Amino acid sequence: MKEQPRAVSSPPERAEPTVSPQVVLYWRPGCAFCGMLRRNLQRAGVTLDERNIWDDPDAAAVVRSVAGGSETVPTVIVAGQALVNPPANQVLAHLGRNAPIHPPASGPRLLHRLLRRAKAP
């Protein structure tokens, strides 16, 4: 059973300045689901801020806070909403509804189609 998206406070600040991404992917090495989700989102043209929960204690804490105390990955934050172990189409639909992006005209056609489909009633 898929969990419903949960609102979360913004992830802890990192020491180095970064551009605020639209999608934060929490993952761990060896996780096949993480790799599959990463590839599918990248193939769709989504830029990811990836956080390894085994190397980043703050990232692990964020995942535990939205996954009922467990370190379930992949966990994705989109527009302040947490999605625990989501399929790529759920992330893309959520991204299209809650954090509309405007890729350049020369951007990936797949992303344009998926975002249009996500916005359709």
In the block, residue with structure tokens 């509309």: 100
CATH number at 25 reads: 3.40.30.10
Q: pLDDT above 70 covers what percent of the chain? A: 64
Q: Rounded CA gap, 66 and 51, in Å?
A: 15
Q: Does residue 15 have a pLDDT over 80?
A: no
For the segment 26-57, what is each residue's pLDDT rounded down to a tens digit? 999 999 999 999 999 999 889 899 999 999 99
Counted domains in the chain: 1
Inter-residue contact 73 to 56 (CB < 8 Å):
no
For the segment 73-116, what is each residue's pLDDT rounded down to a tens digit? 999 999 889 999 999 999 988 888 775 554 444 445 566 566 66
- Whether 1 is covered by a domain: the verdict is no
Both tokens of 117, joined, read 């489909």
Q: Which domain does 74 fall in, by range? A: 6-10+20-119
pLDDT at res. 59: 97
Q: What is the pTM of this model?
A: 0.68
pLDDT at res. 21: 52
- Whether 90 is covered by a domain: the verdict is yes
